[in-house]
Amino acid sequence: MTDGTGEALAAALRIVSSARCVSSGLLLAVSGGPDSLALLLAARTGRADLPPLAVATIDHGLRPESAAEAEAVGALCAALGLSHRRLVWRGPEGAGGNLAALAREARYDLLAREARRCSADAVVTAHHFDDQLETHLLARARGVALQEAAGMRVWRDLQPGLVLLRPFLSLRKSALVDLVAGEGVQAADDPGNRDPRSARARLRLALAAGEHDEAALADVLRAADRHRMTRDEALAERLRALAVSGTLRTGESGQIELADASALSPTLLSRCLTAAGGAAVTPPTRAVLRLAEALAARRRFTATLNGCRVERQGDRLLFLREYGREGIAPMSTEGPDVTFDHRFDIRPPAEAGRAMRIVAWGSLGRGNLRDRTLPVALDESDRPIACHPALAPKLPSCAPLVLRGRVGWRLWADLPGSAPFM
């Protein structure tokens, strides 16, 4: 291909391979729009030099046409000799919430499950330069500092052993549209992308009307990305030194211990809060800076932020999940494994196969500061039948949950090199 898509895909794989192992397979996320169809065509052309390919389409059910669009992608994949699966999102549980955000989170969860099923170690999406501009400008509108608004990464850690790869971030949407049209492939059209009720859609229209200096924005994005890379490399080096020396440790209950409070930087503090607190996103930068100042000024101090309780006792810092006023959301046990509170990957043992849901021990009115945030599997009568190993002395009749902590992985997420702790 001479359009640059094949070269961009190969370049992205080289970049991610310097930090993570991506060899078992690629799962292409293809909606049927022109961007993702361009990704599909690029992978088709270069498949001889790529890991094994599979394709998935998320059917959110948000538009009447979504099922037919997924079927059209499946038909195209069959013609290209590629496996395809339609993944259906049943919608959010309960009312309220940001539907777009819920749909996005569900999309990545479904893609991650499918990637595990087909043994892929990378999910590949077709986000492009226009998306990058929109993401940057939306971040700036929220008050994010210029150097922090670097946009999307070419790759990021999605789950342990699974990365999200975005090879087209340097390519314009118009080039992808032209490629697909030139191949004679009919792309789906989502009118929601032009709905002015959406902030992103309004920004998209403003960019199309030339209301922003895109060349200047591109320079800002490149500078911010260089700043982020430098910061990531420094943080990785610092984290590795702290872990190797035993100064920073993660515990089986999801806690983080830092034996030298003077080693805490705002960047490291943000990661510790997010990882131990089970948060989906990092806390606001200003709040992190205020907390860092308070922790540095006092040798005895306790505070909570972003779902995390942090305690300073002399030189020692301890980060624990905060149970909170509303508690921790329960999880259904649908599927072979579940992720509880962004902190534990759980696969119930065979004897707990009748488990209906997994909850925090505190939801049953039990547990101390640490224990009440730990997972327990309940049967249909809400009787505990399996628990986190740390709860075994209190629940001797329960089977142990087969689990793996994510806190160490989240501390290292998106950083270069292999993690010194997991």
Burial bucket for residue 361 (CB in 10 Å: 0-12, 13-18, 19+): buried
Give the span between the Cα atoms of 177 and 106, in whole angstroms. 26
On whether the CB atoms of residues 128 and 168 are closer than 8 A, the answer is yes
Give the span between the Cα atoms of 304 and 264, in whole angstroms. 16
Q: Determine phi and psi for 325, rounding to 5 degrees.
A: -70, -35
Binding residues for ATP are 31-36
Binding residues are 31-36
Give the span between the Cα atoms of 286 and 293, in whole angstroms. 11
DSSP string, 302-361: EEEETTEEEEEETTEEEEEE---SS----EE--SS-EEETTTEEEE--GGGTT--EEEEG
- Tell which residue, 317, 345, 319, 301, has the closest CA to residue 255: 319
Q: Which residues, 6 or more positions from 95, have their beta carbon under 8 angstroms from its beta carbon?
A: none
Residue at token pair 């806190």: 407
Q: Which residues, 6 or more positions from 122, have their beta carbon under 8 angstroms from its beta carbon?
A: 16, 22, 25, 26, 27, 51, 115, 155, 162, 163, 164, 165
Looking at this protein, which amino acid is placed at residue 333? T
